[in-house]
A and B are shown apart, each in its own frame.
Chain A
Amino acid sequence: MAAIWTELSALQQDIALLLGLLLPAVLIGALVLRGFHPAPLVRAMLWRFRWPNALFVLLIAVSLGIGIGLLAQERGLRRGTAAAADKFDLIVSAPGSEVTMMLAAVYLQPSDVPLLSGDIFNVVAGNENVALAAPLAFGDSFQGASVVGTTPEFVSYLSDGRIDGAVFSEHEQAVVGAAVPLRIGDTFKPAHGVGDGADHDAHDHALTVVGRMEPTGTPWDRAILIPVEAVWETHGLANGHAPEHGDQIGPPFDAAYFPGTPAIIVHAEALWANYALRSEFTRDAETMAFFPGAVLSRLYRVMGDVRQAMSVMSLVTQVLVAASVLVGLLILIRLFQRQLALLRALGAPARFVFAVVWSYAAALLLVGALLGVLVGQAATWALSAILTSRTDIAIQAPLGWPEAHFVAGFVTLSTVLALLPAVTVMRQSIVKGLRG
């Protein structure tokens, strides 16, 4: 059995699991309804107390919707953050926290970190397997947008060449991310620092926007990219080149005039080369090299435990909701006590009355679950929009198989629970029921 299961494709496993989860509900329905046609009566019962019924459906829909919305959102967040790190194959930095460095280099959340020297940069950039090595320089901002110093090659690499206008070719030029409120031709002066504490008058170095990147779905959409030389010059440092090459933009850099970079973004054409480069540049007390993707997956493993806890909590919440609905149904069923007693008085088999009550409860639960899927979809759209606007990471959280399994599990569990009100009805006296 296990061997058959492992031979199935992921899609086949998902479909099989979905059908497996729904099977008990379908079997119960088939067994309970066999030989009867209680639909007209059930419709009448649903319509008779339509407002309490609608409230039940809404309660189920909202609780289920929030549950599946959170599940989908968590997955969307993981995918979005992973996609944002796609362009960052390997990062070389001074030894320290990989997470801190990844947050700084990939997600533009800079912190004070030691710098790498020009010699190290040149060793990295000069390696035969390195297709691109770019220094980064942080610390300035403009109206909340990080100003990042780097090379023209990195700008082309990051944007895949999808740039409206041109990449900077002079010290006073800049390329802006898609979400930066500057147009091509605009001139601005970066402030020193980021956020509320930024000093707006520290620099007198005006830059002109010459290009705008297409949206990348990463925090870099809200960044302003300028020549790394310009950042260094603004801060009164050497600009990475000997005075006779003072106007040069990008590599090669002269180690003697290289003020230092917190991180080098490295891209190799071949996958294996990344591994070779990582071991080569992992040197005690000098440099550390890491894959942001690997750091993220370690983080996701930690988050995975949280996710499992979330799933369990979500399921427990659903069971509690189902239990509350069950209590509500038991109360609601009492409203139909006379009609149900009448059916038994007229000679309806116990199983028919059972089928009517179960169908009524199952209909409420099923409609609630289906509506819950819509609520879940709306919740993920809203949450994705909020998170995207706050993090600049493009987050898409379409509902997927885990949510389908979650809903199917809820439907089956609650249809089993719906047998209870039906059993209770059977235990009541017909004559007492008729008298109301």
Chain B
Amino acid sequence: MSSALRLSDVAVTGDTGRRLLRVPSLDVTPGTSLGIRGPSGAGKSTLLFAVAGLLSRVSGGVFWAETDICAMTAEQRAAFRARHMGLIFQDFLLFEELSALDNATLPAQFAPKSGRAQIRAAAQDHLTALGLHDLDRPVASFSGGERQRVAIARALANDPGILLADEPTASLHRDAADRLIDDLVASQAAARRTLIAVSHDPALLDRMDRVLTVTDGQITDDSGA
């Protein structure tokens, strides 16, 4: 799956009808690492959720390669995410009572039967590669950095062409954040994935190929375009 992204005349409105984001045009070449920065409430996460297909009030076109996810139903977008995307969140969003392995292999629980073994094997490989041990322990006993690495392993388990991260380092202390940035960039580079990361963290943004600045619901700066 080629992972080029094209936005065409995209507008996102909120529940009250207020416009939250407007992007007349945006092209991201496959394999790019793209940072999105901007003040709080500017629309960074809205942009990320729009390209993830998580929002319903989106007009225009969000094309991943030739596929316009805006033209899909919510169920089709979910299937698209399951096949092509890996998501990472600020506060990890793990199931605390499950082990690291069970969390990382979560996508296998709802994947087609034929693909489950592959997802499990990949998740285990990623956990090991990310330096995690004792994989049967509940993640509640893991440190923040370890938990976020479990979340990365979960995002990579289905070998996605697209990685989407929302403030992935915001809940980590500096050392853990730096290590996570290394892991994230390495994961992206190893398989030439398209990485889009919303962040306030200059250390992360510095490592991106390209950085967008979003202000008041619009892209106001595009370094490296």
Contacts and interface: CB of A to CB of B under 8 A. Distances in A.
Interface string A30-49: 00000111101101100110
Interface string B62-78: 00000000000011001
A342 B78 contact: no
Contacts, number: 71
B56 interface: yes
Interface stretch (A75-83, A158-166, A224-232, A343-351): A343-351
Contacts of A430: 54
B interface: dominant SS: helix
A44 B87 contact: no
Contact of A342 (B56, B93, B96): B93
A348 B78 contact: yes
A308 interface: no
A431 B51 CA distance: 13
B83 A347 contact: yes
A324 interface: no
Contacts of A36: 109-110
A429 B55 CA distance: 8
B54 A345 contact: yes
A37 B109 contact: yes
Interface string B21-57: 0000000000000000000000000000100101110
Give the interface residue-count category, chain A. Answer: 20 to 34
Interface in A312-367: 338-339, 342-350, 352
B80 interface: yes
Given A37-B109, A40-B102, A349 B96 contact: no
A347 B95 contact: no
A356 to B, nearest CB: 9
A383 interface: no
A352 B109 CA distance: 9
Given A347-B79, A430-B54, A431-B49, A44 B97 contact: yes
Contacts of A431: 49, 54-55
A350 B78 contact: yes
A348 B108 CA distance: 10
A431 B55 CA distance: 7
A38 B97 CA distance: 14
Contacts of B95: 41, 44, 339
B176 interface: no
A338 B93 contact: yes
Contacts of B54: 345, 430-431, 434
Contacts of B82: 346-349
A352 B89 CA distance: 21
Interface string B87-113: 101000101111000100011011001
Contacts of A43: 97
Contacts of A350: 74-75, 78
B78 A434 contact: no
A350 B77 CA distance: 11
A48 B97 CA distance: 7
Given A38-B109, A431-B49, A347 B96 contact: no
Contacts of B81: 345-347
A348 B54 CA distance: 12
A44 B83 CA distance: 25
B212 interface: no
A35 B97 contact: no
Given A38-B109, A347-B81, A347-B85, A48 B96 contact: yes
B10 to A, nearest CB: 16
Contacts of B75: 349-350
A434 B93 contact: yes
A253 B198 CA distance: 110
Interface string A82-110: 00000000000000000000000000000
Contacts of A35: 113
B106 A346 contact: yes
A38 B106 CA distance: 10
A352 B116 CA distance: 15
Contacts of B89: 342, 434
A340 to B, nearest CB: 11
Contact of B97 (A47, A345, A346): A47
Given A36-B110, A40-B109, A349 B98 contact: no
Given A44-B95, A47-B97, A48-B96, 17 more contacts: A36-B110, A38-B109, A41-B95, A44-B96, A342-B89, A343-B110, A345-B52, A346-B82, A346-B87, A347-B78, A347-B110, A348-B78, A348-B107, A349-B82, A350-B78, A430-B54, A431-B49
9 contacts: A35-B113, A40-B109, A41-B95, A44-B97, A339-B95, A343-B106, A348-B109, A349-B82, A352-B109
What are the 3 A-B residue pairs with the smallest beta carbon separation, nearest first? A347-B82, A347-B81, A44-B97
Interface of B: 49, 52, 54-56, 74-75, 78-83, 85, 87, 89, 93, 95-98, 102, 106-107, 109-110, 113, 154
